Amino acid sequence: MLIRFTVENFLSFNELVEFNLIASEETDHSHHVVKAQTQDDIDLLRTSILYGANASGKSNLIKAMSFARNYIVNGVAKNRSININHFKLDTACYHKPSRFEFEFRCQGRQYAYGFSIDKNQVYEEWLFEMGHQIEEPLFERVGNSISFNFDHPELRKIPEAEKQRIGYEARGTRSNLLFLTNCKERNLQQFHFLYQWFAEQLIIVFTTSKHQALTSLAKSNIEFFNSVIEFFDFGIHKLQVEEIDFEKTSDIPASMKEEIRAEFPYGQNSMQFVSVSSHNYLIEEKESGGLKASKLTTIRKDELGNDVSFEISEESEGTQRLMDFIPMLIGLSKDKVFIIDEIERSLHPLLIRKLFELMLNHDLFKQGTSQLIASTHEVNLLDIKNLFRKDEVWFIEKNQAGESLVYSLANAELDNFNIVDGYLKGRFGAIPFIRDIKELGWEK
Same structural domain, 116 and 242: no
The predicted structure's pLDDT at residue 44? 95
Say if residue 194's pLDDT is above 90. yes
CATH of the domain at 113: 3.40.50.300
Same structural domain, 133 and 194: yes
Same structural domain, 262 and 381: no
Same structural domain, 277 and 139: no
Within a domain: residue 443?
A: yes
Same structural domain, 26 and 150: yes
Look at residues 315, 349, 375 and tell me which one is the last residue of a structural domain.
315
Say if residue 442's pLDDT is above 70. no
Within a domain: residue 369?
A: yes
Same structural domain, 152 and 261: no
Same structural domain, 92 and 160: yes
* Mean of the per-residue pLDDT values of the chain: 87
Structural domains in the chain (count): 2
Within a domain: residue 382?
A: yes
Within a domain: residue 225?
A: no
The residue among 8, 19, 16, 83 whose CA lies nearest residue 50 is 19
Within a domain: residue 418?
A: yes
Q: What is the pLDDT of residues 213-239, one digit of tens each?
A: 788 889 889 999 999 888 888 889 999
Q: What is the pLDDT of residues 167-185, one digit of tens each?
A: 999 999 999 999 999 999 9
The predicted structure's pLDDT at residue 313? 87
Q: How far apart are CA 409 and CA 428, in angstroms?
A: 8
Same structural domain, 268 and 347: no
Within a domain: residue 310?
A: yes
Same structural domain, 242 and 197: no
pTM above 0.85, yes or no: yes
Q: What average pLDDT does this structure show over 23-33?
A: 89
Same structural domain, 48 and 152: yes
Same structural domain, 190 and 89: yes
Q: What is the pLDDT of residues 252-275, one digit of tens each?
A: 889 999 999 898 888 888 888 888
| Residue range(s) defining the domain that contains residue 442 | 1-209+331-444
Within a domain: residue 152?
A: yes
Within a domain: residue 259?
A: yes
The predicted structure's pLDDT at residue 434? 42
Same structural domain, 17 and 139: yes
